[in-house]
């Protein structure tokens, strides 16, 4: 059991948002001896959060940002094909253009991609072990599995076509095993024969139920003394550069510190703390088959679908797709059906005549900064309010170290990894 440190006994910190980032942050602050309130109108681990429906990958090798050199050539296709793996709704295009320009610029050269990869590697390194320890402490150790993650390709040529990504992974210290067709088939007997090459990253892990995991972490925080308030934060009362209270729809909560970890909904809160930050939602989907009779032994990412296929306690989940259409547009369930169909094609042993109630579809919001790096650092209005959002495609895996960085910042200690690449100041 962690004992409060006396120097922080009086510090009351409000964590806004109980997704994976907020849950880990609440625990890290409790460990430092803060008095913690967790504020979220939704249930921790509920379907409203990206942390519920993601691909479950704890992938310390997810260091390549979505934008890579030459991506700009594909933009017309992203707009023309509403069902492609990356699509931009043309009605939303005028609003998202500035973000899109920064997004493409951040991956313009290999040097820039490498810079992002170095920063992400520092954030993600050892993450599966950190999650395993947290889950163990929360009494749900079985939710974290560490048996590697596998990228699969039709042939070695498709793997080699992604040479830039793998070259950069190697440069930042990521290792993998290359598996020819025969070995892949031995390891994954149920997988469709069109895949004949794989790269297995043994340091990767996965979570068998991210929603239940977040709920367990929040329950652990409550057991350690955190208070949970079911309300939406609307802003801050800041006087003479110090935080006095977090404003909510249900009134004010007096507070000394606050952490903005409201995922894709963090933009207005950041604005209330003095920062105009280019946070966008990269909407994503999952399709999940309950009681699937076959599936992968190791979580897989097929190169021809750019989605993850992972067993979860709720079913066989296929997650992916990027849709730029804003927070408010209705889901396009056709996109989730594309994932389902890909899953069926990847595992011929899955029944073709699945009744609708055995396939669950979900849409959620990746909180994405244009440069592929989260915002972790003090707000412009006061260093009492810390930004901890914008983790895009890696929020699940990145949460434990993000939480520790926030706790170290609030304690005035030097951060365990260079915080500069994540500083919100890079956009000021
Ligand atoms: C399809 C898909 C697949 C993905 N796959 C992976 C993966 O395999 N591995 C990985 O690491 N990442 C993955 N991600 C990304 C990851 O899920 C997110 O980066 C991460 O969940 C973000 O966590 P969060 O805590 O910042 O936000 P969320 O999980 O979205 O939580 C935010 C919380 O804030 C609350 N909130 C919102 N507004 C307010 C307010 N005003 N006041 C109080 N509370 C508020 C919400 O109710 C919510 O509970 C994926 C995402 C998607 C969509």
- How far apart are the CA of 348 and the centre of ligand 1, in A? 32
The answer, yes or no, to whether any atom of ligand 1 lies below 6 A from the CB of 307, is no
pLDDT at 90 over 60: yes
From 52, 128, 258, 396, the mutation candidate for ligand 1 (largest count of ligand atoms within 8 A of CB) is 396
The answer, yes or no, to whether any atom of ligand 1 lies below 6 A from the CB of 382, is no
**Partner residues linked to 260 by β-bridges:** 16, 387
Q: What is the pTM of this model?
A: 0.96
- How far apart are the CA of 227 and the centre of ligand 1, in A? 21
Per-residue pLDDT, 9: 55
Per-residue pLDDT, 2: 44
Per-residue pLDDT, 5: 46
The answer, yes or no, to whether any atom of ligand 1 lies below 6 A from the CB of 84, is no
**Which atom belonging to ligand 1 lies closest to the Cα atom of 248?**
42
The answer, yes or no, to whether any atom of ligand 1 lies below 6 A from the CB of 319, is yes
The answer, yes or no, to whether any atom of ligand 1 lies below 6 A from the CB of 265, is yes
The answer, yes or no, to whether any atom of ligand 1 lies below 6 A from the CB of 85, is no
**Binning pLDDT at 50, 70 and 90, where does residue 76 land?**
confident
The answer to whether 413 touches 260, Cβ cutoff 8 Å, is: no
**Which atom belonging to ligand 1 lies closest to the Cα atom of 286?**
1
- How far apart are the CA of 21 and the centre of ligand 1, in A? 8
Per-residue pLDDT, 356: 87
Q: Which two tokens stand for residue 323?
A: 């849709």
The whole-number average pLDDT for the span 199-217 is: 98
From 395, 399, 402, the mutation candidate for ligand 1 (largest count of ligand atoms within 8 A of CB) is 395
User: Tens digit of pLDDT for each residue in 155-198?
Assistant: 999 999 999 999 999 999 999 999 999 999 999 999 999 999 99
The whole-number average pLDDT for the span 42-69 is: 96
**Binning pLDDT at 50, 70 and 90, where does residue 6 land?**
very low
Sign for the CA dihedral angle at 185, 189, 194, 199 comes to negative
The whole-number average pLDDT for the span 281-309 is: 96
Q: By percentage, how much of the chain surpasses pLDDT 70?
A: 98
From 16, 41, 54, 124, the mutation candidate for ligand 1 (largest count of ligand atoms within 8 A of CB) is 54
User: Tens digit of pLDDT for each residue in 303-356?
Assistant: 998 899 999 999 999 999 999 999 999 999 999 999 999 999 999 999 988 898
The answer, yes or no, to whether any atom of ligand 1 lies below 6 A from the CB of 281, is no
Q: Which two tokens stand for residue 205?
A: 């892990």
Mean pLDDT of the chain: 95
**Which atom belonging to ligand 1 lies closest to the Cα atom of 17?**
34
The answer, yes or no, to whether any atom of ligand 1 lies below 6 A from the CB of 232, is yes
- How far apart are the CA of 405 and the centre of ligand 1, in A? 18
User: Tens digit of pLDDT for each residue in 349-393?
Assistant: 999 888 989 999 999 999 999 999 999 999 999 999 999 999 999
């Amino acid at each position: 059991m962690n004992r409060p440190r006396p120097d922080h006994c009086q510090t009351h910190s409000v964590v806004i948002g109980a997704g994976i980032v907020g849950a880990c942050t609440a625990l890290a602050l409790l460990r430092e001896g803060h008095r913690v309130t967790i504020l979220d109108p939704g249930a921790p681990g509920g379907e409203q959060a990206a942390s519920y429906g993601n691909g479950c990958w704890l992938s310390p090798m997810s260091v390549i940002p979505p934008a890579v050199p030459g991506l700009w050539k594909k933009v017309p296709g992203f707009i023309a094909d509403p069902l492609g793996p990356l699509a931009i709704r043309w009605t939303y295009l005028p609003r998202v253009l500035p973000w899109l320009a920064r997004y493409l610029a951040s991956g313009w050269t290999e040097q820039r991609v490498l810079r992002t990869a170095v920063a992400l590697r520092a954030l993600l390194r050892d993450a599966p072990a950190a999650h395993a320890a947290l889950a163990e402490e929360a009494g749900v150790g079985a939710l974290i599995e560490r048996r590697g993650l596998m990228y699969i390709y039709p042939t070695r040529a498709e793997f080699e076509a992604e040479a830039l990504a793998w070259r950069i992974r190697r440069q930042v210290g990521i290792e993998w095993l290359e598996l020819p067709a025969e070995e892949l088939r031995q390891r994954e007997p149920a997988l469709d024969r069109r895949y004949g090459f794989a790269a297995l990253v043994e340091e990767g892990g996965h979570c068998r139920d991210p929603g239940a995991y977040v709920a367990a972490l929040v329950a652990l925080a409550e057991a350690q003394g955190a208070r949970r308030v079911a309300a939406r934060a609307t802003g801050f009362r800041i006087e003479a550069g110090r935080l006095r209270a977090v404003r909510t729809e249900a009134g004010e909560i007096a507070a000394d510190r606050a952490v903005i970890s409201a995922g894709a909904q963090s933009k207005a809160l950041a604005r209330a703390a003095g920062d105009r930050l280019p946070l966008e939602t990269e909407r994503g989907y999952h399709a999940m088959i309950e009681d699937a009779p076959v599936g992968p032994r190791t979580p897989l990412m097929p190169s021809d679908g750019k989605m993850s296929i992972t067993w979860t306690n709720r079913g066989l989940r296929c997650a992916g797709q990027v849709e730029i259409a804003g927070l408010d547009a209705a889901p396009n369930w056709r996109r989730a059906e594309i994932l389902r169909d890909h899953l069926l094609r990847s595992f011929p042993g899955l029944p073709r005549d699945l009744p609708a109630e055995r396939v669950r579809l979900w849409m959620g919001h990746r909180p994405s900064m244009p440069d592929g790096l989260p915002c972790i650092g003090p707000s412009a209005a006061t260093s009492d309010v810390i930004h901890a959002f914008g983790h895009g495609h890696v929020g699940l895996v990145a949460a434990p170290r993000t939480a520790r960085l926030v706790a170290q910042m609030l304690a005035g200690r030097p951060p365990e990894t260079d915080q500069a690449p994540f500083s919100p100041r890079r956009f000021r």
